[in-house]
Structure 1
Amino acid sequence: MSDWTNLNYVVVDVEGNGQQPPDLVELAAVPITDGVIGSPVSWLVQPETPITPIALRIHGITNAMVSSAPDFGTIAAEVRDALDMDCLIAHNAHVDVGVLQRKLGEWECPEVLDTLKLARRLLPGADSYKLGGLVTTLKLADGLPDGLTLHRATYDALVTARLFVRLVEGSDTRPLTLEELRNTPAARDDGNGTAALF
């Protein structure tokens, strides 16, 4: 059996412009190395098409805020470096991975673990499996720096990293093994019908 800390992870969150398919307006990445959550790195990105009103209401990122931000091509190399880990983690991961694959072209996505699916498996009967609900239930935002808010990429990536570690370390009397982590049901969305907007 392999210890989960044998792999290096990157937790990612993307915020989009609300278009279909969504274009990137903000990205954050948080490393987990030797089982320890590291410091986040984040980018505001100028999308190719404007941010819609519905996306603005969710994450609060305005077109003015990204008007002087770099386009994705300018930061692509930095993003690739940040994602160069053994495993990628996200909440409702197919959304984040889909955006990254569209933006990074030939990028080879590493193994993916989805905290939404892990939470459904390891926290049966939870009131909500949305990230905000799990943050409240598990108090995942306690002690975060002031100014970080839900649906901004740095906040979401940090609380997702905390959620992942909590799920892995909080199983029965011992942490999950890598084999147990990988034994997760097939991908499915969160059922709210809106995740792909962001």
Structure 2
Amino acid sequence: MNFATWPSLLVVDVEGNGLNPPDLVEIAALPVRDGRPDTSTAGWWQIRPRRPVTPFAARVHGLTNQTLAACPPWNDVAVQVRERLGTAWIAAHNAHVDYRALAAHLPGWQPAGVVDTLRLARTALPDLPKYTLDALIEHLQPDLSAVADQRHRARYDAYATSLVLIALAESYPTWDQLAAAAVPPGLPGSPEPEEDPTLW
């Protein structure tokens, strides 16, 4: 894979307050440049949600209502998040979840495309028993020694997903082939469906 041919791409991860639909409590946006994550220009935000974090969500990611009490509300960071995301491609594991959460909070925002490392892994590694992020980390053994935080936090998951994406990309000679395998149908960047031929 020639990483120089990649479009501008950010690996994103969002954490929510456990409700449906969720209030966002943490976002990471990590650029991938020249085949490696660029932490020097990454974006990271913690957000005080409108509604309390559920006990289950707090157990998963460790972000409690007390932890987030001094953080800014969404309206104070929304412009920064939108500017950081811009119109770049985004990538995430089980990407429709992160994409839909961000799109719901950023009306009118749309990335150039959405790469799903879950979908990509199923194509590139067809014989794995599971395709969770944990399973892919165990299988691919990326070097996570430099990552901030821990699993289920936005910075950790974005960094781990970026390394998974880079490793899986080696199975695809070109960006177009990777995108064809990785973009879920109906999300930005997916191929336009061919029109059915008619008699007129």
Q: After superposition, what is the alpha-carbon deviation per residue over 1:30-87, rounded to whole angstroms, capped at 9, x for unaligned?
A: 0012333201321111111111111111111101111111111111122122212531
Residue in 2 aligned with 1:23?
A: 23
- The alignment of Structure 1 onto Structure 2 pairs a total of residues equal to 182
Q: Which has the larger radius of gyration?
A: 2
Counterparts of 1:109 and 1:186, CA distance in 2: 12
1:181 aligns with 2:178: yes
The equivalent of 2:193 in structure 1 is none
Residue 128 of structure 2 aligns to which amino acid in structure 1? Answer: A
Instruction: With a CA cutoff of 8 Å and minimum separation of 6, indicate the structure with the bigger relative contact order.
Output: 1
SS in 2 for 1:42: strand
Q: Which moved more, 1:92-101 or 1:72-81?
A: 72-81
The answer to whether the 8 Å contact 2:15/2:26 transfers is yes
Partner Cα separation in structure 1 for residue 64 and residue 143 of structure 2: 24
Whether the 8 Å CA contact 2:137–2:160 is kept in 1: the answer is yes
How far the C-alpha of 1:141 sits from its partner, in A, is 4.4
Q: CA deviation at 1:95?
A: 0.5
Report the Cα distance in structure 2 between the residues aligned to 1:149 and 1:60, rounded to whole angstroms. 10
Give 3-state SS (helix, strand or coil) of 2:122's partner.
helix
Q: Is residue 71 of structure 1 aligned with residue 62 of structure 2? A: no
Q: Which moved more, 1:40-49 or 1:23-32?
A: 40-49
- Deviation string 1:87-133 (CA, Å, 9 cap, x unpaired) is 11010011101110111112123211100000011011113211111
The corresponding residue for 1:10 is 10
Structure 2 CA distance, aligned partners of 1:140 and 1:17? 29
Matches within 5 A, 1:10-159: 10-39=10-39, 40-145=42-147, 148-159=149-160
- Alpha-carbon distance between aligned partners in 2 of 1:29 and 1:156, rounded to the nearest angstrom: 10
Q: Percent identity?
A: 38
CA, structure 1 residues 109+164, in 2 after alignment: closer, same or farther (shift >3 Å)? same
Aligned partner of 2:151: which letter?
L
Which SS does the other structure have where 2:181 is aligned? coil
Q: Supply the RMSD in Å over aligned alpha carbons.
A: 1.9
* Secondary structure in structure 2 of the residue aligned to 1:28: strand
Structure 1: distance between partners of 2:183 and 2:4: 23
- Structure 1: gaps (5+ residues): 189-198
Find the aligned partners of 2:67 and 2:22 in 1 and give their Cα distance: 18
Given that 1:140 and 1:159 are in contact with CA atoms closer than 8 Å, whether structure 2 keeps it comes out as yes
User: Is the Cα contact below 8 Å between 1:44 and 1:69 reproduced in 2?
Assistant: yes
